[in-house]
Amino acid sequence: MADAPLFIAHNVSLARGNRTLFSDVNFSIHAGDRIGVVGANGSGKSSLLGLVSAAYPPDSGRVALRSDATVTYIQQEFVPPSNKELTVAQFLKSLVPQELCAASRSEDLQNALNVHCNLLGDHSALAESDEWQHEYARLQTALENVSGVDADNIVASSLSASRLSHLANRTLDALSGGERKRVQIVSCLLNNPKLILLDEPTNHLDLDTVEWLEEFLLNVAEKGFDVTGAGGGIVKDPVAFVIVSHDRALLDTISAQILEIENGTATMFEGNYESYNEQKLALAQTLRNDLSAAANTWKRELAWLRAGVKARTTKQVARIERAHSLAVKLKGLKSRAAERTAPEIDFSATLRDWERNDEGSIVPATRTLGQQELLALKKLNVQHPGNPLEAICKELDCVIKPRMRVALLGPNGSGKSTLINAVCLNKGVMSGSVAWHDLAQMAWFDQERARLPRTETPRTVVCPKGDFVSFRSKSLHVYAYLDQFGFSRFDASKVVADLSGGEQARLLLAKLMLEDANFLVLDEPTNDLDIATLQRLEQSLNGFSGGVLFTSHDRYFLRRVATHFLVWQRSTAKWIAAADLDQAIALLEPIPEPEVVKKPAMIARENMTKKRPAISSKEKREWEALEKEIPKLEEQIAAKEHELMDAYSASGKPPTEMNLLLTQIARLKETLTEKTARWEELFLLQD
């Protein structure tokens, strides 16, 4: 069973409305697979996860989930329970199945053992059966190896393994977005899954949290449910992951296979994201070679056909048929080569001015960017908007010139967006100097996309009046322009509020390109964008001759775009320059976690330890007595187990006698556990 796939999709097709997402898709998921799913926005990645999780059936084809395959689905948005007063520990505890707790497992195993022993009442000869003895030994060993943990232990171990113990007593509604995502991901373990589905797990997470996610998922991939300390050997198969993500660094670290959904088909590539990228480049070159070879062959065959050769022989008939077949193949190759999977992003920068011509008229002129200072910050101080005693930055000096792309790095809550608002909108309590070049023209991508009117349509957003837009000194019809960004006429008529996150991001990029700016401010531009669009954006920014100030948590994007880094350090409220991304990440200081709200029992125990460093004489006597009682209990358990084995070997022993022995052994073990715990507690109080 362990070798059987966890999930199989055979000739699967799925549509949404009148649009087919994919058709005739075939793939399987095996234990231990770590599959990254990539594709353009709207290609059906999340829908594919829905099929795997059995959220809905395919329109055609067949899907099958292995009967013992427990699946956990971590969706993009965390929907907390209606009771917002639940603490994190209470919420996680509610997700732990009873059968995974020690008490429940012990009871189930004890019942199974009783049933097995009762078989001897009707068939006493079974006592001599090797099969019966083997099953008895298996159940007895399993009962002895029950880990002794309950739901509280599982939750505590899960939080400890994920470095989230400080959140245990926080209510869900008091968590930040990043903290909620962490809790959501930890929750995926608690039903002992064999398959974990994650849909964009890194969206809106800071660099520190993304690195935490990588480490945690790799830990889960290695240990599975044992991460909680309660595995007890239950899960023998390694955990499988299917991750939909645009975070290429995460895919590079986590994935061992890449499933690409493109133009309605799905293709599996072996290896991580870098390997997939190399294979895609090779396939693209192969396509170009095939297209060139087919085109040359078609030219020769076309010339032969035009010569008017009559099909008098069988060979000539076959050649004509091959020529027509080649025409069809060439058309298909051209169609594949022409497929556009990403918008045509092309930012260009100029300094636009006015000058007087020879006739004395004022006409527009273009100035050379050169090395002029587009933005200069000197001794800039910005106050935290929610805390007058805290600063977002102190004494910040920064100059941004043409072709400089400056990345602001800091954890969520460090004030990156606040600093951008202060610099670009003169918003907030601040002092120091913010100097813009006289001809600087700014375009701003805000992560909340507030610049997109929710009731407008893409068509009216980019072209409020008329039917044409002016782009690169050319006039383009608004639908032709929007088509470059993946908006059909139907999509161009939707209201912004109904667009997906990726569509809104692409629309905002389309709007910014029409502003013809020489200074770009990009606040988390990579959120919700698919990989193909990210690559185009990277290419455009790397060729952009103006200045760029941006924030991003996408390490791939940062490494390929940024020329300079400024890293926020909370201890000094200063932004420190870093030479490269690795140095920048090393300089990051995570925001300190809030102090754990301690339960009265925890406080009492700490106070007892602090105020009473030495054990009392009464406790000393209790501890000494336990040291004598514990070995005796162990001897009694061993004797009872020996007596039980003798009872099994003797023929004619009634099952009730053996059941009584089993009950006595269970009670003795429970007493031993309690006394051992008390012994450890008293031991810790001693000098």
The CATH H-level superfamily of 1-83+183-263 is P-loop containing nucleotide triphosphate hydrolases (3.40.50.300)
Query: How many other C-beta atoms can be found within 10 angstroms of the C-beta atom of residue 345?
Result: 21
* Pick from 19-28, 164-173, 358-367, 524-533: least confident: 358-367
Identify whether the C-beta of residue 345 lies closer than 8 Å to the C-beta of residue 399: no
The per-residue pLDDT for range 186-221, each reduced to its tens digit, is: 888 888 888 999 998 887 788 888 888 888 888 888
* Pick from 309-313, 571-575, 679-683: least confident: 309-313
Rounded Cα distance, 383 and 389, in Å: 8
**Domain residues of the chain, as ranges?**
1-83+183-263, 276-338, 600-684
Q: How confident is the model at residue 397 (pLDDT cuts 50, 70, 90)?
A: very high
* Pick from 245-254, 362-371, 457-466: least confident: 362-371
Rounded Cα distance, 420 and 430, in Å: 12
375-384: strand order across its sheet: 387-400, 375-384, 430-436
Can you spell out the DSSP letters for 78-105?
----S-TT-BHHHHHHTTS-GGGSHHHH
Q: How confident is the model at residue 602 (pLDDT cuts 50, 70, 90)?
A: very low
Instruction: Give me the pLDDT at residue 590, please.
Output: 63
Res. 655: pLDDT tops 70: no
1-83+183-263 matches 600-684 in fold: no
SS3 336: helix
Res. 386: pLDDT tops 60: yes
Instruction: Give me the pLDDT at residue 176, please.
Output: 73
* Distance set, CA 482 to CA 39, 331, 345 (Å): 20, 26, 11
Nearest CA to 415 out of 430, 437, 402 is that of 430
Rounded Cα distance, 461 and 464, in Å: 6
Identify whether the C-beta of residue 576 lies closer than 8 Å to the C-beta of residue 418: no
Instruction: Look up residue 143 and give its amino acid.
Output: L
Q: How confident is the model at residue 399 (pLDDT cuts 50, 70, 90)?
A: very high
Instruction: Give me the pLDDT at residue 62, please.
Output: 93
Average pLDDT over residues 662-680: 78
Nearest CA to 51 out of 77, 17, 21 is that of 21
Average pLDDT over residues 333-357: 65
In sequence order, what are the beta bridge partners of 143? none
Instruction: Give me the pLDDT at residue 601, please.
Output: 37
* Pick from 428-432, 553-557, 625-629, 649-653: least confident: 649-653
Average pLDDT of the chain is: 79
- Backbone conformation region of residue 36, classed left if phi is above 0, alpha if psi is from -120 to 50, else beta: beta
Q: How confident is the model at residue 295 (pLDDT cuts 50, 70, 90)?
A: low
Identify whether the C-beta of residue 353 lies closer than 8 Å to the C-beta of residue 369: no
Instruction: Give me the pLDDT at residue 605, please.
Output: 35
Res. 483: pLDDT tops 80: yes
Res. 548: pLDDT tops 60: yes
Res. 611: pLDDT tops 50: no
What backbone phi and psi angles, to 5 degrees, belong to 11? Answer: 50, 45
Which structure tokens are listed for 211? 């690195």
Res. 486: pLDDT tops 50: yes
The per-residue pLDDT for range 45-68, each reduced to its tens digit, is: 989 999 999 888 999 999 999 988
CA angle at residue 501 from 445 to 261, to 5 degrees? 120
Q: How confident is the model at residue 185 (pLDDT cuts 50, 70, 90)?
A: confident
Rounded Cα distance, 257 and 269, in Å: 6
The per-residue pLDDT for range 314-326, each reduced to its tens digit, is: 555 565 556 666 6
Q: What is the dihedral of CA 412, 417, 422, 426, to 10 degrees?
A: -150
Rounded Cα distance, 124 and 652, in Å: 6
Instruction: Look up residue 542 and give its amino acid.
Output: N
Instruction: Give me the pLDDT at residue 233, please.
Output: 47
Instruction: Give me the pLDDT at residue 566, please.
Output: 94
Identify whether the C-beta of residue 568 lies closer than 8 Å to the C-beta of residue 561: no
Angle between helix 314-338 and 273-306 (nearest 10)? 140
Res. 164: pLDDT tops 90: no
Res. 339: pLDDT tops 70: no
Q: What is the dihedral of CA 169, 172, 177, 181, to 10 degrees?
A: 80
State how beta strands 34-39 and 240-244 pair. parallel
Res. 44: pLDDT tops 50: yes
* Half-sphere exposure (Cβ direction) of 273: Cα atoms closer than 13 Å: 18
CATH architecture entry for 600-684: Orthogonal Bundle (1.10)
Instruction: Give me the pLDDT at residue 310, please.
Output: 58
Instruction: Give me the pLDDT at residue 529, please.
Output: 85
Query: How many other C-beta atoms can be found within 10 angstroms of the C-beta atom of residue 515?
Result: 12
Q: Structure pTM?
A: 0.68
Angle between helix 207-223 and 177-187 (nearest 10)? 0
Identify whether the C-beta of residue 393 lies closer than 8 Å to the C-beta of residue 570: no
Q: Which carries the bigger pLDDT value, residue 197 or residue 687?
A: 197
**Residues sharing a CB contact under 8 Å with residue 107, sequence separation 6 or more, in sequence order:** none
* Half-sphere exposure (Cβ direction) of 577: Cα atoms closer than 13 Å: 9
Rg (CA), the chain: 34
The per-residue pLDDT for range 95-149, each reduced to its tens digit, is: 877 666 656 666 667 777 777 777 776 677 676 777 877 777 777 777 666 555 5
The per-residue pLDDT for range 496-507, each reduced to its tens digit, is: 988 888 888 889
pLDDT exceeding 70 applies to what percent of the chain?
76
* Distance set, CA 47 to CA 332, 536, 565, 569 (Å): 27, 25, 37, 41
Average pLDDT over residues 299-326: 60
